[in-house]
């Protein structure tokens, strides 16, 4: 239990502010470069671009749209990767069927909206049913292969293939998009100035309201999850069980029930993310593999078991994909894996690893 308190006081735990201040003291050059990058980004977003800059980067509207698309895509990646972080990073269960849970949640959300015409209940249905699927996975599969990462990898790869075929059989190979509710449809004015016309009229960026709301929700979920893991007794028990399961079980804690519920919660988050993805993108066969790879990259970049690390990794990958698709579309997918390679080369434990 003492070990769990030590983890909680790490970079992703209770002393997050002190850890960040210590990072600045240890790496003043990196902190300076990060500050300059943030200032430059704010200038690019808020300032009126000179013609020379537009010749280099194109229209400001394209740049700012790519920036916001990358941030909101990062919010979606974070929702998917958060469940993966709980299951893989904290519990050390290698679940390569995680992408299937995402796609299953998306299909359930689509079916719910088609049946009821309501958007918000789709999240509840997807969360509950995918969480139940995750609970079955943990009880029937992972509980019998604890600590055997290779077996878990091979078995869940096989399960992901079976799940993909079952979903293809039920929903076919079509693309589905979950309709956006009326109260979230359409764009909203932002305070970002795109241009000032000769007559003095200011042109502001308009951006889809649903993307902004979903991103805000992902931030809220991330904060609440971090608080739950690092500021509650349940979070302490989870971290203690990861480090010394036998000692925690000897103290009378039902460790198997605790881990099963955590696994179910992580799977439920993936199911909710499927509804999000189906709303502002689409759901179709193959999306499970895409989001599984995205989750792996996010967790590797951010650090195992770190919620702030998952947020940072998701943001970096989302921005890399969007800016790559705008400015270098042929090599867009390369940038995400380039970030992962650089992190593995220079900080293999991840940018914000809790250990």
Q: Render 162-202 in DSSP notation, one character per residue.
A: HHHHHHHHHHTT--B-PPPPGGG-SEEEEEEEEEE-TTSPE
Partners of 187 in the β-ladder: 208
Distance CA 228, CA 30 (A): 30
| pLDDT tens-place string over residues 310-324 | 899 999 999 999 999
Where does residue 253 rank: exposed (0-12), middle (13-18), buried (19+ CB within 10 A)? middle
Average pLDDT over residues 35-41: 86
- pLDDT given at position 17: 52
Q: Is the pLDDT of residue 8 over 70?
A: no
Q: Is the pLDDT of residue 166 over 80?
A: yes
Question: In this structure, what DSSP letter does residue 145 have?
Answer: S
What's CA 344's distance to the chain center, in Å?
Answer: 19
pLDDT, greater one: 131 or 40: 131
pLDDT above 90 covers a percentage of the chain that reads 39
Q: What backbone phi and psi angles, to 5 degrees, belong to 176? A: -125, 145
pLDDT, greater one: 198 or 269: 269
Q: Is the pLDDT of residue 90 over 70?
A: no
pLDDT classification of 298: cutoffs 50, 70, 90:
very high
The vertex-315 CA angle with 310 and 321, nearest 5°, equals 125
pLDDT classification of 89: cutoffs 50, 70, 90:
low
Written as one string, the DSSP assignment of 202-241 is: EEEEEEEHHHHHHHHHHHHHHHHHHHHHHHSHHHHHHHHH
CA distances from 287 to 94, 185, 302, 340 (A): 19, 24, 22, 20
CA distances from 145 to 174, 176, 200, 240, 253 (A): 36, 36, 68, 20, 21
Sequence length of the chain is: 355
- Start-end of H helices in the chain: 2-8, 16-26, 28-46, 51-57, 60-84, 98-116, 120-140, 149-171, 209-231, 233-243, 245-250, 255-280, 287-302, 307-327, 332-346
Q: Are 142 and 152 in contact (CB under 8 A)?
A: yes
CA distances from 36 to 18, 53, 156, 314 (A): 22, 18, 44, 21
| pLDDT tens-place string over residues 198-253 | 777 777 888 999 999 989 999 999 999 888 888 888 888 877 776 677 777 777 77
Q: Is the pLDDT of residue 5 over 50?
A: no
| Three-state DSSP class for residue 244 | coil
- pLDDT given at position 160: 93
Distance CA 172, CA 167 (A): 7
| Three-state DSSP class for residue 257 | helix
For the ranges 232-236, 286-290, 334-338, 344-348, which has the lowest average pLDDT?
Answer: 232-236
- pLDDT given at position 22: 65
Q: Is the pLDDT of residue 50 over 50?
A: yes
Domain layout of the chain by residue ranges: 2-346
């Amino acid at each position: 239990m003492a070990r769990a308190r030590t983890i909680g006081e790490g970079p992703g735990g209770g002393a997050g502010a002190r850890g960040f201040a210590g990072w600045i003291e240890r790496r003043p050059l990196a902190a300076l470069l990060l500050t300059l990058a943030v200032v430059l980004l704010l200038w690019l977003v808020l300032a009126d671009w000179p013609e020379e800059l537009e010749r280099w980067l194109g229209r400001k509207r394209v740049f700012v749209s790519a920036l916001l698309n990358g941030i909101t895509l990062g919010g979606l990646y974070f929702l998917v990767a958060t469940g993966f972080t709980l299951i893989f990073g904290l519990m050390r269960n290698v679940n390569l069927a995680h992408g299937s849970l995402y796609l299953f949640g998306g299909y359930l959300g689509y079916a719910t909206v088609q049946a009821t015409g309501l958007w918000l209940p789709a999240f509840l249905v997807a969360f509950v049913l995918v969480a139940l699927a995750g609970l079955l996975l943990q009880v029937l599969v992972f509980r019998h292969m604890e600590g055997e990462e290779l077996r878990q990898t091979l078995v869940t790869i096989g399960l992901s293939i079976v799940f993909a075929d079952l979903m293809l059989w039920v929903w076919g190979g079509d693309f589905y998009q979950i309709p956006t509710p009326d109260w979230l449809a359409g764009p909203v004015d932002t305070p970002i100035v795109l241009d000032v016309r000769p007559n003095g009229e200011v042109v502001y960026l308009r951006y889809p309201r649903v993307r902004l709301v979903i991103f805000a929700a992902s931030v809220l979920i991330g904060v609440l999850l971090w608080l739950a893991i690092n500021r509650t007794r349940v979070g302490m028990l989870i971290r203690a069980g990861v480090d010394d399961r036998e000692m925690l079980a000897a103290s009378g804690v039902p460790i198997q029930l605790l881990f099963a519920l955590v696994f179910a919660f992580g799977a439920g988050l993936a199911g909710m993310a499927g509804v999000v993805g189906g709303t502002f993108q689409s759901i179709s066969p193959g999306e499970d593999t895409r989001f599984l790879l995205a989750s792996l990259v996010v967790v590797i970049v951010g650090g195992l078991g770190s919620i702030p690390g998952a947020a940072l990794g998701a943001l970096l990958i989302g921005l890399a994909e969007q800016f790559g698709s705008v400015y270098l579309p042929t090599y867009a997918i390369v940038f995400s894996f380039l970030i992962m390679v650089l992190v593995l080369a220079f900080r293999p434990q991840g940018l914000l690893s809790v250990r």
